[in-house]
Amino acid sequence: MRGLLDVASTAYGFAMVVLVVTFVISDMSAITFAKALTLLLFVIGSILCVDGGLGLRSRIDRTWKALRFGRVAVWFSAAKIACGVTAMLLVTVGLGL
């Protein structure tokens, strides 16, 4: 499961770079950019919530290629869930555009 999350995070980063470059060099409107960004926020928010949930359950966290166990892993996992929930709240704002 961890490998799939890593692949999805890498794909998210690549898609974000492509989106920003496309916005800069083309005549994409700001509203189109915001809607595409909303989709990418949903992806990263989902990844963070799932990764945080797995970390809370297993008490093991791997962030930035550092492996953590116990209480520190729980704190990192809770922070990931908080960031994922924040991203989802921003998705609801983006859907209202």
Query: How large is the angle between the packed helices 2-25 and 30-58, nearest 10 degrees?
Result: 160
Cα distance between residue 54 and residue 49, in whole Å = 9
% of the chain surpassing 90 pLDDT = 46
pTM of the model: 0.79
Q: Report pLDDT digits (tens) over 35-71.
A: 999 999 999 999 889 889 988 999 888 877 778 898 9
Q: Report pLDDT digits (tens) over 2-38.
A: 677 778 888 888 999 999 999 999 988 989 899 999 9
Strand ranges (E), the chain: 60-63, 66-69
Q: What is the pLDDT of residue 42?
A: 93
Q: Which tokens hold the place of 49?
A: 């919530």
Q: What is the pLDDT of residue 1?
A: 58
